Amino acid sequence: MKPVIFGLAGETLTPDERAFFAEAEPAGYILFKRNIVDRAQLRALTDDLRSLHGRDDLLIMIDQEGGRVTRMQGPVWPSFPPGALFDRLYDVAPSSAIAAAHANARAIALTLAEAGITVDALPLLDVRQEGASDIMGDRTLGAEPMRVAALGRAVLEGLAEGGVVGIVKHMPGHGRALVDSHLELPVVDANLNALETDIAPFRTLRDAPMGMTAHVVYTAWDAERPASLSPTVIGEIIRERIGFTGLLMSDDLDMKALRGSIAELAAGVVAAGCDLALNCWGRMDDMIGIAAALPEIDPASRARLDRAMASVTRGSDQPPLEQLLATRDQLLAPVVA
C-alpha cells in the first residue's frame, strides 16, 4: 500500500485508473463534485472502488462541510449550514448549539454512509482571528478555543454515530493566515504564547481518529517550511505538544502554497511525518509520479489508518434523516433570519 490518497478524474473509473489503482494500491480516495451525479451513480462508484481493493473499510473521503464547501449538492442531497451558524447559536444557547451541531453532523454522516463514503473532512478546529483571510471565515466554529473544541467534539461524535470518520483540520491551526493557501503560502508571525490559542482545540480533541495539516509557515516554530513539510511542526507540535495520535494526512498537494514537483511534495510530506499525502485532482501523470516517489506505507502509519477506519461502526438503528434535519432546524431557528 502507498501512503497516499488519490482523486479521480470523472464519474466512473477509467480503464487506466482501474489498472493503475490496482497496482499502486493507494491508502484511499477523495471525491469531488466532478465525480458525483446522483445517488445511484455515486454508490456504484464507491462500490467499484471497494471491489477493486477488496476492502470494505476503504478510506473514501469527501469535503462535505456545509455552506460554501459542499460536494454533494441539492436537489439530490439536503443542504447543510456553515460552521458559523452554530457559533452564532452558541452566543445565546451553548447547549442548543452543541445539540444542533451534533444533529447536523449525524445527518451529514447518514447521507455519506448511504453513498458509501467513509470519511468526511470535518470538523474545522481553526480558531477564527480578526483580519485573517476569509478562506476560513464562516467555515469556522468560532473565535474562542473552548467553544471551537466543544462544537468540534459534537461534530466528531455525530459523524461517528452516523458511521463516518471525521478529520480535525487544519493542524496546528489556519485561523491566523492572512492569505488563502489555495493561492499562496501564508506566513504566520505570531509568537509562541499567541499560538497556544490556535493549538488549544486540537489539544482538547487530540484523540480524534484523523487530522489534516495546514500549508502554513509558523515562524515561531519553523521559519523555513510550512507545517505539512516540517518535521519540527509535525513532530514537536502536532505529535508532542498537541499529543495527537491519530492518522495525519497533508492538505492537498496541488495548492499553490507549496512549491516543487507534485512527486517531490508527496515524498516530502511523508518524510516530514505525515502518514498520508493528499493529491486531489486525478491527473494520471501526477499520480504515477507520486506512486514512484513514495515508499510503502510505514507500519505505524498503517496501524493508525486501520485504527481510524475501525473507530466507527454504523449501527442499524439510525434515526430518520428528516428527523435529524428537523431537530437541527428547530434548534437553529433563533439565529436563522
Question: Taking the C-alpha atoms of 323, 327, 333 and 336 in order, what is their torsion angle to the nearest 10 degrees?
Answer: -70
Instruction: Identify the CA nearest to 302 among candidates 20, 4, 22.
Output: 4
3-state SS, residue 279: strand
215 is catalytic: no
Query: CA 291 to CA 108: how far, in whole Å?
Result: 32
Q: Are 85 and 335 in contact (CB under 8 A)?
A: yes
Alpha helices in 81-223 (DSSP H): 83-92, 94-114, 145-161, 192-204
Phi, psi angles (nearest 5°) of residue 3: -80, 70
Residue in 53, 182, 254, 329 annotated catalytic: 182
3-state SS, residue 17: helix
Question: Taking the C-alpha atoms of 108, 228, 307 and 42 in order, what is their torsion angle to the nearest 10 degrees?
Answer: 40
3-state SS, residue 272: helix
Residue identified by cell 482501474 is 18
Residue 235, Cα to own-chain centre: how many angstroms? 20
Per DSSP, the residues of 110-147 read HHHHHTT--EE---B-PPP-TTS-TTTGGGS--SSHHH
Residue in 251, 252, 275, 286 annotated catalytic: 251
Residue identified by cell 466528531 is 156
Detail the DSSP E strand segments found in 32-102.
59-62, 64-66, 69-70
Query: CA 137 to CA 266: how far, in whole Å?
Result: 28
Distance between first and last Cα of the chain = 49
63 is catalytic: no
Tell me the catalytic residues: 182, 251
